[in-house]
Amino acid sequence: MIFSSELIKGTLKTILLKLLADNHKMYGYEITQRVKELTAGRIQLTEGALYPTLHALEEEGLVTTEVEYMGKRVRKYYRLSDTGMTRKDEKVNEFADFVATMKILLDIEVKPA
Amino acid sequence: MIFSSELIKGTLKTILLKLLADNHKMYGYEITQRVKELTAGRIQLTEGALYPTLHALEEEGLVTTEVEYMGKRVRKYYRLSDTGMTRKDEKVNEFADFVATMKILLDIEVKPA
DNA sequence: CAAAGATACATAAGACTTCGATGTATCATA
DNA sequence: TATGATACATCGAAGTCTTATGTATCTTTG
């Protein structure tokens, strides 16, 4: 079952920041694959959503980029900045609090990973 | 701390369906107050989001409405339909699964309520 | 070796949702 | 009698995501 896109709304930046915090540097396509893998295919990032968001993160100064060539093929790597690391912590904490709040509202059990 | 609105995006319908499942019938303003109360003020539904969403639920056949007068003041009550009850279960389950997935991605602990 | 599928970037129009402001009106309280 | 709470609602603007499209390279398989 793939999650409805509505659910993922608002969490994309958080996911990207966290992945970049864990992996030092990643490129766009790699991110889509990693997320798919980590979520057993239940979250599939589309390029139309991913690239604009990565660009936005760059404009906000949360990531820096560097281009590498694999043969003739371009890869654009994204790396978290210090500001980005701080923001990542904020975002992840906010999401954790949000979930705690939603648990009360929806009266759900969240299974341990 | 009030949650950024982006986070609440995509969960509004789920929240509404769950509230209506628990409370049999509620009106709009009551919903905003109940949510504020249940979440210690951290989720504040705005009318601009609430009413269009309630109307959408009605169009989808998930809720029925009935108008009552308190003196001269109108109250529009919303009540969950059978379809709505089914949908509520689906939505709540989907959210629980989503959270389990996000826990893996973000590597977070979710405190028990 | 040709075709298909995967890798890899990106943009752009349209759809959808939410925000913030605005509007109307009643009721309670200071 | 004015303010704040109650109660409905809509609308333009803003923001985000989807779907489609575009370009190009690399790898695998028939």
**A113 domain residue, yes or no:** no
A4 touches strand D (CB under 7 A): no
For residue A112, being part of any structural domain is answered with: no
Tell me, yes or no, whether B68 lies in a domain: yes
**pLDDT tens sequence across A46-104:** 999 999 999 999 999 999 999 999 889 999 999 999 999 999 999 999 999 999 999 99
> Can you give the residue range of the structural domain that contains B82?
5-106
Question: What pLDDT does B18 receive?
Answer: 97
Hey, are the CB atoms on A39 and B101 less than 8 Å from each other?
yes
Residue B95 forms part of a structural domain? yes
**B65 lies in some domain:** yes
Residue A63: CATH number of its domain: 1.10.10.10
Assigned domain for B112 exists = no
Residue A107: which of B23, B50, B104 has the closest Cα?
A: B23
Task: Look at residue B113 and tell me if it is in a domain.
Answer: no
- ∠A86-A46-B46 over CA atoms, to 5°? 65
Measured between CA atoms, how close is B19 to chain A, in angstroms? Answer: 8
A42: its two tokens: 């239940």
Tell me how far apart the alpha carbons of residues A92 and A103 are, in angstroms, rounded to a whole number: 17
Nucleotide nearest to A33 (CA to C1'): C7
What CA–CA distances, in Å, run from A3 to A84, A93, B18? 27, 22, 19
CA distance A29 to B110: 30
Q: Is the pLDDT of residue A39 over 60?
A: yes
d(C-alpha A37, C-alpha A91), whole Å: 22
Q: How many domains does chain A have?
A: 1
Reported as a pLDDT band with limits 50, 70 and 90, residue A7 is confident
Sequential pLDDT tens for chain B (113 residues): 778 777 888 899 999 999 999 999 999 999 999 999 999 999 999 999 999 999 999 999 999 999 999 889 999 999 999 999 999 999 999 999 999 999 999 999 876 65
Q: Is A97 exposed, middle or buried (0-12, 13-18, 19+ CB in 10 A)?
A: middle
Cβ atoms of B92 and B18 within 8 Å: the answer is: yes
For the CA of B71 and the C1' of D15, the distance in angstroms is 41
